Amino acid sequence: MGGSFVARRLGQAAITIVAIILINFVLFRLMPGSPERVILRGTPNVTPERIEALRERWGLNDPVFPDQLVAYITSTLTGDLGYSFIARGQTVVDVLAQRIWPTILLFGLGEMVAIALGLALGAYSGWRRGGPIDYLGNSVSLILYSTPYFLLGMGFLLVFASSIKWLPTFGMLTAGRVYGSPFEFLADLGAHLVLPLATVSLGLVGQYAIVMRSSIIETLSEDYVNTARAMGLSEGRILRHHALPNALLPTVTLIAINLGYVIAGAITVEVVFNWPGLGTLTVQALTARDYPVLQGVFLLLSVAVVLANLVADLVYGVLDPRVRT
């Protein structure tokens, strides 16, 4: 993989992030009410001096373009995203920092489970196209794909909260519980994790299976697969050594591109189970019109997706010799 390729991709990612900040700036200026009110709305004891200091720092006394824009970009890049209204004046960065870990835990694990299951199911379905597993898998995938994630969660909740009361359905840890050992803590966390994790994984697995299935089918009709057949290789070897490596490549990219789309649905699962992550934070912020927090969430998730895409592209570059040179 050439250095220029990496440099180009890094440059693109940087431009994208700046564009995201730009959007945030436009949104920020669109909001009704004076900007400093938006920023300081939740903060107690706002003195005129404080407002003036803030106007100064965010360049609000200067013209919108370029001064305010530059000030906005600079403050964003230095980690100043304003103050949260719902958290009564805590900085947005602090609020996000508290809420990001539960989401990473839930969403990260969910992605891993879904990718593993989805790719396996999709590859098998596509390989045995028209077979019973394909038929079943395809129908289930399509139905899962058509189901909003939170609705799946509500289904789980219905079963587990009202009928089978095996698993906790609320929050991340039992409220007020004192743990005797780290093991107890993990067990409690694990029990709380089961349902949200199952929901997120199930919600994602359908589309990954669909993507992988069509990728495998496409690959199986490629000439080089026909060459492999002509060589008299076994079907298993053709799948493992020729079809799979080639089918995985576009799938990696598609998964990365879809991440932005997927995140949105997945965070709504948090709301159903009161999982204390970015999803519940978003809904709380939305209810209270806490724009700085909303913008912070947007920025954070966008940057995460852009970086994930960057990583996927670089991985692709390592895996695909055609990009490497």
Q: Which of these segments, 60-68, 69-77, 87-95, 262-270, binds other proteins (CB under 8 A)?
A: 262-270
Nearer to other proteins by Cβ, of 185 and 258: the residue is 258
Nearer to other proteins by Cβ, of 115 and 281: the residue is 281
66-95 residues in contact with other proteins (CB under 8 A) are none
Of 136, 257, 153, nearest in space to 199 by CA: 153
Q: Does residue 223 touch other proteins according to CB under 8 A?
A: yes
Q: Does residue 50 touch other proteins according to CB under 8 A?
A: no
Which residues does residue 91 pair with via DSSP β-bridges, in sequence order?
A: 83
| Of positions 53, 104, 116, 143, contacts other proteins by CB under 8 A | 143
265-284 residues in contact with other proteins (CB under 8 A) are 265, 268, 271-272, 282-283
Q: State how far the Cα of 96 lies from the Cα of 100, in Å rounded to an integer.
A: 6
Q: Does residue 142 touch other proteins according to CB under 8 A?
A: yes
Q: Does residue 198 touch other proteins according to CB under 8 A?
A: no
Q: State how far the Cα of 297 lies from the Cα of 98, in Å rounded to an integer.
A: 12
Shortest Å, Cβ 300 to other proteins:
9
Q: Does residue 246 touch other proteins according to CB under 8 A?
A: yes
Nearer to other proteins by Cβ, of 97 and 264: the residue is 264
Q: State how far the Cα of 236 lies from the Cα of 301, in Å rounded to an integer.
A: 40
Q: State how far the Cα of 37 lies from the Cα of 22, in Å rounded to an integer.
A: 20
Alpha helices (H) in 128-234, listed in sequence order: 132-146, 149-157, 182-220, 223-230
Shortest Å, Cβ 75 to other proteins:
18
Residue 62: what are its φ and ψ, rounded to 5°?
-95, 170
| Of positions 111, 295, 313, 317, contacts other proteins by CB under 8 A | 295
Nearer to other proteins by Cβ, of 30 and 178: the residue is 30
Q: Which of these segments, 95-103, 104-112, 115-123, 286-294, binds other proteins (CB under 8 A)?
A: 286-294
At residue 274, the 3 state secondary structure works out as coil
| Of positions 41, 99, 192, 242, contacts other proteins by CB under 8 A | 242
Q: Give CA angle at 198 (295, 164), nearest 5°.
A: 120
CB 192 within 8 A of CB 172: yes
Q: Binding residues for other proteins, how many (CB under 8 A)?
A: 74
Q: Does residue 34 touch other proteins according to CB under 8 A?
A: no
211-235 per-residue burial string, b: 16 or more CB within 10 A, e: under 16:
bbbbbbbebbeeeebeebeeeebee
Interaxial angle between packed helices 278-287 and 291-319, expressed in degrees from 0 to 180 and rounded to the nearest 10? 150
